[in-house]
Amino acid sequence: MTATKKNWKVRSLLAASLGAACLLAGPSPAMAEAAWPDKPIVMVVPYSAGGPTDVVARMLAIPMGKSLGQTVIVENTVGAGGTIAPTRVARAAPNGYTILIHHMGMATAPALYKKLNYDPLKDFEYVGQVMDVPMTLLSRKDFPANNFQELLAYVKANKDKVTLANAGTGAVSQLCGLLFMHQIGVQLTTIPYKGAGPALNDLMGGQVDLLCDQTTQTAPVIKDGNRVKVFGVTTPKRLSSMPNIPTLDEQGLKGFDVKVWHGIYAPKGTPPAVIEKLNIALRAALQDDMVKKRFAELSTEAAPMDKVTPEALRTHLAAEIDKWGKVIRAAGVQAD
């Protein structure tokens, strides 16, 4: 065999060996990111099925999946005031296949819980803000009061005989209720539920008296007109979709302003290229005609596009942690 043939044979064997090694090692990170996603993505919701955050997640899942070319599966991981789901996502593999949708509970948990198994500012990557949701103050349909002034008179006369439902410790409905009780100077009997859906069901069934909850859940029953009474909205201005319902601010609770914002997160270390694809899918979903129609029906709007960015979500989250931390510590509220 000539030297040339021997060299050719050696080079062929080396090439084959390198090819086999590459196959065993799998695709490079860059190749994996380029191919992402090649399987379904799980969007984790911290609250029960049928609740406001779950409703938002299911509205976004289909158009986001269409944009990504994969199914987005919504999974409810309920418990511990909405802190189990973020813990699950924070500990998940940082590959973009497990993401979290959460509301302002991401900002209130650090002040509510002495021991938290995740740090909202250190253990996540940020995809973008989703929406701001107004809230409404409701009662069971046979509640004695028929307007806000009658409501105030009744609760001040009956105090802890009046029951105020919420979706669980740390839920936005609890925070709204705390602010309501603080501003009227009356302590009611609070009834925590495992989610906003069960709380609203019991309100409509007459088992509890009052509930402060998001329009993503309450708008349909308010518009129905026969299942609850509504006493006001929690935003400084009336809602264009329900202009006849006055704000709590204009009825005497000056400065009462509670809006529920949502964001989407991924585990810390998720590659920037994957975060970018998730962000593009989120932006596309928020501009989807059916999503915009559903948002309008539920008296809410998508976040402006300049807020639907990783940087905007992180900045907003940090500001909200500071804001709600002061409110919760002043109220002396603890969840554990």
pLDDT at 32 over 90: no
Per-residue pLDDT at 296: 86
pLDDT at 5 over 80: no
Q: How far apart, in Å, are the Cα atoms of 210 and each of 61, 190, 237?
A: 32, 9, 22
Q: Would you place residue 326 in the very low, low, confident or very high pLDDT band (cuts 50, 70, 90)?
A: confident
Read off φ and ψ for residue 233, nearest 5 degrees. -110, 155
Reference 258, options 267, 250, 266, 249; nearest CA is: 249
Per-residue pLDDT at 148: 97
What is the distance between the alpha carbons of residues 56 and 72, in angstroms, rounded to a whole number? 13
Q: Would you place residue 48 in the very low, low, confident or very high pLDDT band (cuts 50, 70, 90)?
A: confident
Mean pLDDT across 174-187: 90
Per-residue pLDDT at 301: 82
Q: What is the pTM of this model?
A: 0.76
Q: Would you place residue 118 in the very low, low, confident or very high pLDDT band (cuts 50, 70, 90)?
A: very high
Reference 215, options 130, 320, 142, 297; nearest CA is: 297
Q: Residue 53 has which token pair?
A: 């955050």
Q: Is 240 exposed, middle or buried (0-12, 13-18, 19+ CB in 10 A)?
A: exposed
Give tens-digit pLDDT for 227-267: 999 999 999 899 988 999 999 999 999 989 888 899 999 99
Peptide bond into 94 cis (omega under 30): no
Give tens-digit pLDDT for 55-73: 999 999 999 999 999 999 9
pLDDT at 10 over 70: no
